């Protein structure tokens, strides 16, 4: 029974670490629409930002890569491909106009996105390894800061990193 509590704790930590990584990926990948975020106060900003991130998480996991309905997945993949193809080119020659042809929907969904099973397998792996990756990231950051302090001296390197000029 003790192992079950350790496993449950690790899974809870894994989900929190995965969500932290997902938040950064969404924000740094410019997928987060900052015009929908209310920045009138810190609490409103944090709340509306988390709501928008959760909407994107739901969209990614339960619409684009819907585990129970291939039809739903194809529908949202074609919509996403249409919006992306208006500004980009696909390596197989798909154009935004092709998304209006229902006969091509399955092939567009296949060519423009990862398989659903591959997506879910990789995301489960990412969830299970998220705490390990987070610890490695922190260790690397500490090593980089220590190297900066040793080579340049603490005041010189931090003044360079945080200077306004």
Residue 82 domain boundaries: 68-113
**Do 53 and 23 meet the contact criterion of CB atoms below 8 Å apart?**
yes
Classify residue 102: in a domain, yes or no.
yes
The per-residue pLDDT for 16 is 94
Residues in the chain: 165
**156 occurs within a structural domain:** no
Q: Say if 96 falls within a structural domain.
A: yes
Both tokens of residue 113? 């996105």
**Has residue 51 been placed in a domain?**
no
Q: Number of structural domains, the chain?
A: 1
Q: What is the pLDDT of residues 67-88, one digit of tens each?
A: 888 888 988 988 888 888 888 7
Give domain status of residue 78, yes or no.
yes
Q: Report yes or no: 143 and 97 within 8 Å, Cβ to Cβ.
A: no
In a domain, 8, yes or no: no
Given this model, what pLDDT does residue 155 score? 54
Whether 98 maps to a domain, the answer reads yes
Burial pattern 37-68, b for ≥16 Cβ within 10 A else e, equals beeeeeeeeeebbeebbeebeeebeebbbbee
Instruction: Indicate the pTM of the whole model.
Output: 0.76
DSSP output for 129-160: HHHHHHHHHHHHHHHHHHHHHHHH-HHHHHHH
**pLDDT band at 158; cut points 50, 70, 90:** low
pLDDT, one tens digit per residue, over 55-68 is 999 998 988 888 88
Instruction: Establish how many alpha carbons lie within 13 A of residue 84's alpha carbon, considering only the half-sphere containing its beta carbon.
Output: 15
* Alpha carbon of residue 42 to chain centroid: 23
Domain assignment present for residue 99? The answer is yes
- Among 25, 123, 118, 116, which Cα is nearest to 77's? 116
Residue 27 neighbours by CB distance under 10 Å: 14
93: three-class secondary structure by DSSP? coil
Quick one: what percent of the chain has pLDDT higher than 70? Answer: 92
């Amino acid at each position: 029974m003790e192992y079950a509590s350790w496993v449950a704790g690790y899974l809870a930590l894994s989900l929190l670490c995965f969500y932290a990584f997902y938040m950064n990926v969404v924000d740094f990948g410019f997928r987060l629409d900052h015009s929908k975020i209310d920045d009138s106060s810190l609490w409103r900003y944090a709340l509306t930002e988390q709501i928008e991130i959760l909407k994107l998480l739901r969209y990614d996991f339960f619409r684009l890569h819907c585990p129970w309905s291939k039809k739903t997945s194809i529908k949202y993949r074609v919509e996403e491909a249409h919006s992306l193809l208006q500004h980009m080119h696909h390596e197989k020659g798909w154009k935004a106009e092709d998304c209006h042809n229902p006969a091509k929907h399955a092939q567009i969904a296949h060519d423009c996105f990862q398989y659903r099973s591959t997506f879910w397998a990789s995301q489960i792996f990412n969830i299970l390894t998220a705490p390990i990756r987070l610890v490695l990231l922190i260790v690397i950051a500490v090593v980089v800061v220590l190297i900066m302090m040793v080579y340049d001296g603490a005041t010189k390197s931090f003044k360079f990193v945080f200077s306004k000029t």
